[in-house]
């Protein structure tokens, strides 16, 4: 898989891909992540990528020209399955969406900024708009990192324990059950006996019960 992230702040995005599961997936060649500086596609002397909004109002708008130049240059090299724009008014990211995106070959993620992007970009270049939650971030970079992380960890081979990504919260519309590690008794705070029993079927049943209980308490909407 290839993820091309178009951003005005490539440095901000370097670290998430330089550690742990994402770094390993990249090192193993399971995914290629390119951070593309939008300013490299500006034809202005000052490399500006934004301008005042027509009709007035506070805040700058990301211009169509550098974005079109950048996306067209990428598209000249290969075809893309999705061109994603990060925006608080996009479709809410969920596990189902990440599962689908993880099966694609090439995607672009355009990080929004300022007051937003010229609507013509959204109308003519973007195939999918994604929000990571009902709150407003300073820019789309952190959203792009969240989206990429949720996708990359699902690529077969990215996680050493193959079953682990499948038992994540949300994968079956249930939150994950509680987990414990040693010591079995910490100052009287005890691990549930069933987990120490060695009885696989009972442990499985207990985990499922706990998942259901937690989901009912915290996210009853997932059970509908």
Residue ranges binding ligand ADE (CB under 6 A): 86-88, 112, 131-133, 135-137, 140, 143
Distances (CA, A) of 42 to 45, 68, 116: 8, 10, 17
Residues 38, 181: Cα–Cα separation, whole Å: 46
Q: Which tokens in the block code for residue 51?
A: 């301008």
* 80: region left, alpha or beta (phi > 0 left; psi from -120 to 50 alpha): beta
Residue 3 corresponds to which tokens in the numbers above?
A: 């993820």
**37 HSE (CA, 13 A, CB side):** 10
Query: Given the complex with ligand ADE, which of 15 and 138 has the nearer CB atom?
Result: 138
Residues 6+ apart with CB under 8 A from 216: 223
């Amino acid at each position: 898989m290839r993820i091309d992230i178009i951003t005005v702040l490539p440095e901000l995005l370097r670290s998430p891909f330089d550690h742990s599961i994402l770094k390993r997936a990249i090192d193993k060649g399971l995914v290629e992540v390119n951070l593309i500086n939008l300013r490299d596609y500006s034809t202005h002397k000052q490399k500006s990528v934004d301008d005042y909004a027509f009709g007035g109002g506070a805040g700058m708008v990301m211009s169509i020209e550098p974005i079109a130049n950048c996306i067209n240059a990428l598209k000249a090299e290969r075809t893309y399955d999705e061109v994603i724009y990060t925006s608080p008014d996009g479709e809410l990211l969920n596990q189902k969406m990440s599962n689908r995106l993880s099966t694609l070959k090439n995607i672009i993620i355009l990080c929004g900024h300022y007051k937003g992007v010229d609507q013509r970009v959204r109308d003519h270049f973007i195939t999918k708009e994604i929000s990571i939650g009902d709150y407003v971030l300073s820019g789309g970079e952190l959203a792009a990192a969240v989206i990429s992380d949720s996708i990359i960890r699902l690529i077969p081979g990215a996680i050493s324990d193959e079953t682990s990504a499948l038992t994540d919260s949300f994968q079956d519309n249930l939150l994950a059950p509680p987990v414990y590690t040693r010591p079995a008794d910490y100052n009287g705070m005890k691990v549930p006996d069933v987990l120490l029993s060695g009885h696989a079927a009972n442990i499985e049943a207990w985990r499922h019960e706990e998942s259901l209980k937690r989901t009912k308490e915290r996210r009853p909407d997932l059970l509908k």
